[in-house]
Amino acid sequence: MNEPEFDFDFGSDPLPDLHAILREIRETTRFARARFYGQPATLITRYDDVRAAFRDDEAFPSRAFQEPNTVPVTGPNLLSMTGQEHRVKRRLIAQTLKPSAVRTMKQSLFSEVAHALVDDFEGKGSADLVHDFTARFSFTIMSRLLGIPSAYHDKLHGWVQDFFGYAQNPERALRAKREFDAILLAEIESRRGAPQDDVLTELIEVEVEGTRLSDGEILGFVKLLFPAGSDTTYLANGNLLHALLARPETLRRVRDVPADRAKAIEEVLRWDPPVTLQPRINPKTIEWRGHRVDAGSMLFGVSCANRDPAYFDEGDVFDIDRICPIPPLTFGNGLHYCVGSHFARSVMATALDVILDRLPAVRLEADPGVQVQGGSLRGPNRLPVTF
């Protein structure tokens, strides 16, 4: 592939003006040359093409990206599986995250954790909602769901970051893998002798078509669950709170009309998704939808697609009354559609309910340093508020 046309990197640069950049690219071309963590990549920019790319696991197999980038750390995981293996293992994992189970979690654990976090800072009259709430909320929930001992909670975020920095620092990632595996395998062994009311026990006991998850598969799923269920969700919560805090009239509306909060969640998932660009690998140069796509790194432009004017009128506008004629691609499409989409929405709903109910006068402090940033994973760097 020729050198990228742009002098910025969608993987490593902060890109606070990302959406303006992507809009200009989308208006110019369906397929753009870009850079991702120092490597040339093909960026797909328009809704129809991005949706088709998600659904074409033969042309752009998820496994091709996962095997060199995550499998050395996670072991077998859903995103690296295809065919019968993927079908059965997805059904096994989906049992633990089915909507009825998530509703129960929301009514108990989610609310308990959110209120405890607000208790820590409510009396101060100010907080950074990224540092004090959104990041801690998601990781605490995930740790509690899995029954991981509290002594390790502070290390979990670092381990997750190290896992998914394997391509940049494999030695650090593999060291984190060894530490995490030792802890989780001990917990798995403990649950076999003394089952508990947690997701880890469910993963051990669930059975579909006579098949259960192996210890290695449980490890692989848990290592995906943390970034998928905590890292991206904390970014999504940050994007949601930033969008509302920056629009006081909309904030007042969702505070006073709780039924409109779900609309705000759906709109922010379209308007500023936490996974802005989904990386994949194209194993070989192909002709695809009338375009030559070179072998190498791919970027599925989720955010580009979610604002494509072919389907979303005034897509750059945050509008909680928007009626989308077609589903946004925030959770993907096709074979690897996010199995935890119900979970993510419920975590976001609980976070918003507790913040608005406990801090009804919350407002964003004037701070020019506040930015929503990131080219692939995206969220605010901080959210200083008073109340």
pLDDT of the residue at 147: 80
Give residues with Cβ within 8 angstroms of 205, minimum separation 6. 195, 212
**What pTM was computed for the model?**
0.92
The one-letter amino acid code at 345 reads R
User: Model confidence over 344-365: pLDDT tens digits?
Assistant: 999 999 999 999 999 999 999 9
pLDDT of the residue at 51: 98
pLDDT of the residue at 106: 65
Q: Residue 280 and residue 18: Cα distance in Å, rounded?
A: 20
pLDDT category of residue 5 using cuts at 50, 70 and 90: low
Domains delineated in the chain: 18-379 (1.10.630.10)
Burial 37-66 (b: 16+ CB within 10 A, else e): eeeebbbbbbbebbbbbbbebebbbbbbbb
The one-letter amino acid code at 18 reads L
**First-residue to last-residue Cα distance in the chain:** 52
Q: Residue 26 and residue 20: Cα distance in Å, rounded?
A: 10
Would the pLDDT of 382 be above 60? yes
